[in-house]
């Protein structure tokens, strides 16, 4: 398998396992307690740990984006550097992320004997919630782009996990912050699900918030190539 093939496999498997972590832990938590805070605490802690591990595993092969907003930012920021790549590759990566997310939701449902690929009926939305979703994604992109521009991507795994775990709580949307994961979560009739009709507004908020996060990161941290560590690939890890 060549490098592009490995990258696609890594994004497919990584995003799939990430959604399996999110959906599976939600099912287990909802079965084991009626306390809403304990359910969300479990989801947040488990997602933070699982995401951190998956970034560690797949970062060398693909940068461990698992997220179309991250891939889009990566492609844009890499355009004028030696790390640039074809737009077709970016699109293929995003396709693998979405396919992986759908597969991961199905895997989680299968593990817990829940009907596979059934649509969620959990409506989510409204102005405050979409504001929360934008804030969560802005923070995520701010973090990832900052680490890349300051040559500290070795911190990506644990800090990205920590940010998402925190944003499950401090934003009102519980921080999906990822269009591929959002699509995958439309296809599970469980705790972590989101009704398909609610997804487009979530995705729009994620794109908008992500763009703002990139702008803030670029404003605060002018690029300094010399600070890019060579212990990690030049593309974004996260």
Positions 181 through 220 that interact with a second copy (CB under 8 A): 216, 219-220
Residues 10-39 that bind a second copy (CB under 8 A): 10, 13, 17, 20-25, 28-29, 31-33, 35-39
Residue 52 in contact with a second copy, rule: CB under 8 A? yes
Q: What sign results for the dihedral spanned by CA atoms 23, 172, 205, 214?
A: negative
8 Å CB contact between 236 and 144 = yes
Quote the CA–CA distance of 229 and 22 in Å, as a whole number.
31
Which residue number, 60 or 87, has a Cβ lying nearer to a second copy? Answer: 60
Residue 119 in contact with a second copy, rule: CB under 8 A? no
Q: Which stretch binds a second copy (CB under 8 A): 82-90, 92-100, 165-173, 196-204?
A: 165-173
8 Å CB contact between 109 and 78 = no
Residue 225 in contact with a second copy, rule: CB under 8 A? no
Instruction: Count CB-CB contacts under 10 A for residue 185.
Output: 30
Residue 87 in contact with a second copy, rule: CB under 8 A? no
Least separation in angstroms between residue 152's CB and a second copy is 7
Tokens 């940068």 sit on residue: 63
Instruction: Count CB-CB contacts under 10 A for residue 52.
Output: 19
Least separation in angstroms between residue 97's CB and a second copy is 16
Q: What is residue 236's three-state secondary structure?
A: coil
**What distances in angstroms separate CA 47 from CA 27, 174, 184, 196, one per listed residue?**
13, 12, 15, 22
Among 91, 112, 119, 196, binds a second copy (CB under 8 A): 112
Among 106, 143, 177, 199, binds a second copy (CB under 8 A): 143
Residue 223 in contact with a second copy, rule: CB under 8 A? no
């Amino acid at each position: 398998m060549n490098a592009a093939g490995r990258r696609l496999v890594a994004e497919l498997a990584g995003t799939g396992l990430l959604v399996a972590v999110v959906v599976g832990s939600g099912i287990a938590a909802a079965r084991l307690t009626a306390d809403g805070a304990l359910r969300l605490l479990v989801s947040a802690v488990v997602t933070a740990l699982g995401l951190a591990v998956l970034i560690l595993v797949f970062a060398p092969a693909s940068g461990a984006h698992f997220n179309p907003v991250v891939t889009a930012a990566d492609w844009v920021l890499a355009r004028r550097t030696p790390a640039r790549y074809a737009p077709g590759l970016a699109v293929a990566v995003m396709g693998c992320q979405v396919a992986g997310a759908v597969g991961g939701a199905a895997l989680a449902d299968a593990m817990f004997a829940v009907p596979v690929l059934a649509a969620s009926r959990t409506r989510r939305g409204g102005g405050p919630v979409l504001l929360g979703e934008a804030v969560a994604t802005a923070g995520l992109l701010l973090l990832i782009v900052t680490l890349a521009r300051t040559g500290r991507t070795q911190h990506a795994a644990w800090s990205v996990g920590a940010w998402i775990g925190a944003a499950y709580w401090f934003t009102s949307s519980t921080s999906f912050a990822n269009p591929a994961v959002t699509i995958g979560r439309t296809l599970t009739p469980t705790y972590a699900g989101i009704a398909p009709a609610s997804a487009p507004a979530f995705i729009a908020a994620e794109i908008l918030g992500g763009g703002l996060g990139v702008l803030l990161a670029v404003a605060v941290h002018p690029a300094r190539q010399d600070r890019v560590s060579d212990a990690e690939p030049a593309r974004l890890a996260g």
